[in-house]
Structure 1
Amino acid sequence: MKLIFSEYSIILIFIGLSFLLSSAIFVLSYIITPKKADQEKVSAYECGFNPFEDARTTFDIRFYLVAILFLIFDLEISFLFPWSLSLGDLSSFGFWSMVIFLIILTVGFVYEWYKGALEWE
């Protein structure tokens, strides 16, 4: 039992410290911040639109494009992190397959940039 506790005691200490730190930050932010509410602060923020209009109104396609670009590059990071951790154990095939993946993503990003999907007017 002592062996198990010695292995997991670091994790328990980390969880306890993170709970204490997050509680302290929450309490301090509640105490320090000003409590003056105005119309802008209490209104809901819905992608730049008035939230009290009809829910079926159409909006610009660029919101979707930005969301898709975010998902693409978020997935890229989720593939890059484990690849970078196991880079020393991979063969040249694993390295070059990820390089090709990054080139394809870069070409897609340049295409989106060239088409003006990132320009907001």
Structure 2
Amino acid sequence: MEPAAQHAVVIWPLILFLVAALGLVSLMLGLSYMLGGRHDERLGNQPYESGIKPTGDARMKFSAKFYLVAIIFVLFDLEVVFIFSWAIAAPELGWTGYEALLTFLFDLALGLAYAWRIGALDWSPRAPRQFRLAAIESNKRRNLPSENAENDVPMGS
């Protein structure tokens, strides 16, 4: 048997699977289109939540912190995937794999510490500007450095 013929024997199950998968998807979409109901009602495009009538606009703005938390969640979720895959391959990897995992966890901890330091995980509301300025002036009178000594603004500015 020629090498090309051997590859053809190995590839045909994959082609059969792809054709079957595409056929099944097409069948389900077609049946859904033919058998599904069509509603051109006024309320058809409004948001629906547990039978409660909607109040307000569904397109309100979200704080950027929601997206930041979502990104951090995805990063830590991927971390779990990497740790599980490392745990499965740990016996074959030996100490080199263990050192690589520790380096990965250390880098991740540095990223978490940075996010914590810049306040990405802080959801408490910030004090109004006038109270922060008053605290800066109070610290200056007592000769204490403020949190942002280089950005201190005098009270009258």
Identify which of 24, 29, 32 aligns with 1:26.
29
Q: Match of 1:4, as an amino acid? A: H
Deviation at 1:78, TM superposition (A): 6.0
Q: TM-score with structure 1 length normalisation?
A: 0.54
Number of the residue aligned with 1:72? 75
- For the residue of structure 1 that corresponds to 2:9, the secondary structure is helix
Number of the residue aligned with 1:89? 92
Deviation at 1:15, TM superposition (A): 0.8
Number of the residue aligned with 2:66? 63
The CA RMSD measured in Å over matched residues stands at: 4.0
Number of the residue aligned with 1:49? 59
Could you tell me the percent identity over the aligned residues? 24
Mapped to 2, the partners of 1:28 and 1:2 lie a distance apart of: 39
> Relative contact order (C-alpha < 8 Å, sep 6+): which is higher?
1
Number of the residue aligned with 2:5? 2
Mapped to 1, the partners of 2:39 and 2:86 lie a distance apart of: 48
Mapped to 1, the partners of 2:43 and 2:99 lie a distance apart of: 51
Aligned residues: 104
Structure (1 or 2) with the larger CA radius of gyration = 2
Task: Name structure 1 gaps, 5 residues minimum.
Answer: 51-57
Task: Name structure 2 gaps, 5 residues minimum.
Answer: 48-57, 125-157
